[in-house]
Amino acid sequence: MKYSDGKRRKTAAIILCAGRGTRTGLPYNKMLLRIGGDTVAELTLRAFTHSGICDDIVMTANPEDYDIIREIADENGACVVYGGETRTESVRKALASLSSDTEIVLIHDGARPFVSPELILSAADSAAEYGSGIAAVPSVDAVKEAENGYVIKTLNKSSLYNTQTPQAFRFGEIVDAYSKVVGNYGDDSEIYELAGYRARLVRGEYGNTKITTHADVFRLPGEYRTGIGFDVHRLSENRDLVLGGVLIPYPLGLLGHSDADVLVHAIMDAMLSAADMPDIGVLFPDNDPAYKGISSILLLDKVCGFLKERGVKLINVSAVVMAEKPKLAGYIPAIRESLARTLALPVQNVNVSATTTEKLGICGEGKGMAASAIVLVTV
């Protein structure tokens, strides 16, 4: 794949998923823990596929979870090998499975699902130029060296770093290191150093945390926010009725500058609210001819782009349409699927319901429709 210097290098990633994660206290492998609808394994793998740097991705799995990890890998163009009893053994097996013409390899703990594509590329760039790229962050705590429970030395934290993954290497060098160094280690750069190579650090991310203990499950990185949106449109003749991007057969349609998809408008305003951005009336004004008759699904796609630019990740959507007629129950599955496609969410993370207002108000009188939505995001 192409690097920042414009050159192409065959690049592979190893994602370690063969542990059992007993320290989390979960009754199953922590790689299968769901966060926002996706497993940890899926989130981690997706970060590497989205980085655009990997030609090959290998996941390791223990025998108990092999089938489900393989299913996740198959859906994302990766492959799976059996891991070993230790992390070091798993890396050895994964390295042995890679093509000999691999130039750069990234090794990553599967339990770090919040790694960014930018950090992945930074580590790979460093490996291409210097031989290695080890993600690390400066230590923020005072570090003590102790013996028998007593402090014997206080270390200068200005020169101390906490290493993370990914750790990227020139393929030939890390294979050579693993062939020379015996024993089990918790860090690939240590094996690299023991073999006589110099490990070079790249700036890691404090949000790139590893899910290790029971407390980590309830202390996931990122700030969670909710957003609320509401919209209402009058029903009119000679208009299509579109809800959630789905055309609904009905003699009347919603009146507006765009296609007046009241459901999508409520969802967009909820998303923009959660991202601390102006509402759709400001971003897509009804006096701008560019938005005359436009599909609201196209506007929703634009809003998704706005959130991505701000580093805001949508987790789930819950919305309700208020209308006396037509009956919408039969169209709800298609509406959910339409919204899920545009929002890039699993359909189970997009809930839509419909209700009447008991013949009260503009909706109850059949003169209009309204919708409200709430979203959950992380930043």
Q: How far is CA 300 from the centre of its chain?
A: 19
Q: Identify the helix (H) or strand (E) that includes residue 360.
A: none
pTM for the whole thing? 0.62
Instruction: Give the pLDDT score at 108.
Output: 98
Mean pLDDT of 35-59: 89
Contact assessment for residue 59 and residue 80, using Cβ atoms and an 8 Å cutoff? yes
2: which DSSP letter?
A: B
Tally of CB atoms within 10 A around 374 = 19
Which run of H or E residues covers position 58?
strand 56-61
Contact 14, 94 (CB under 8 A): yes
Largest CA distance in the chain: 83
pLDDT exceeds 70 at position 221? no
* pLDDT recorded at residue 37: 66
Chain segment 287-301, per-residue pLDDT in tens: 888 888 899 999 999
Query: What single-letter DSSP state applies at residue 199?
Result: P
Token pair recorded at residue 284: 């897509």
Q: Is the pLDDT of residue 218 over 80?
A: no
Share of the chain above pLDDT 90, in %: 64
Torsion angle in degrees (nearest 10) through CA of 322, 327, 330, 334: -40
Query: What integer best gives the mean pLDDT of the chain?
Result: 90
Closest Cα partner for 263 from 240, 296, 307, 234?
296
What angle separates helix 296-309 from helix 262-274, to the nearest 10 degrees? 10
Span 302-315, average pLDDT: 88
Instruction: Count CB atoms within 10 A of the CB of residue 314.
Output: 25
User: What's at 208, amino acid-wise?
Assistant: N
